[in-house]
Amino acid sequence: MNLSDMRARLRKDMHDEDPANQRWTDVVLDRHIQRAVRELSLSAPLEAKGTLTATPGSRDLSIAALTDLVEIEGVEYPTGKYPPSYVRYSVWLNTLTLLTDKTPGGGERTRRSTILRSA
């Protein structure tokens, strides 16, 4: 659902549907909707999984492209094993470092479970 659909539903719930006599401007309603969505996403964030590709010979992976990241819950390395193998890791700014004695080779993949906050 997009913002204009949410606004229309909110106007209906508030009995503010007459365009000639609206009590609330779109700007005010949009601000309240965005605040409600932000607070909801902080208390019940979207959980997501993704894959990062390792640089040959480095344990550091860039997480700069992960917008609205709240936290990383786990890192699977190497991927595709059963049962999955989770490794220790550290995060500093936009870099995730694998704390393992095995250095990833070229093109190896690392899977991480993340918590993302919606916009």
Per-residue pLDDT of the chain (119 residues; tens, 9 = 90+): 899 999 999 999 999 999 999 999 999 999 999 999 888 888 888 788 878 877 788 889 898 888 777 788 888 888 888 998 888 999 999 999 989 887 666 556 666 555 555 44
In this prediction the pTM is: 0.61
CA dist 116 and 119 (Å) reads 9
Residues 63, 99: contact at Cβ < 8 Å? no
The full set of domain ranges for the chain reads 3-43, 46-116
Neighbours of 75 (CB within 10 A): 24
Overall size of the chain counted in residues: 119
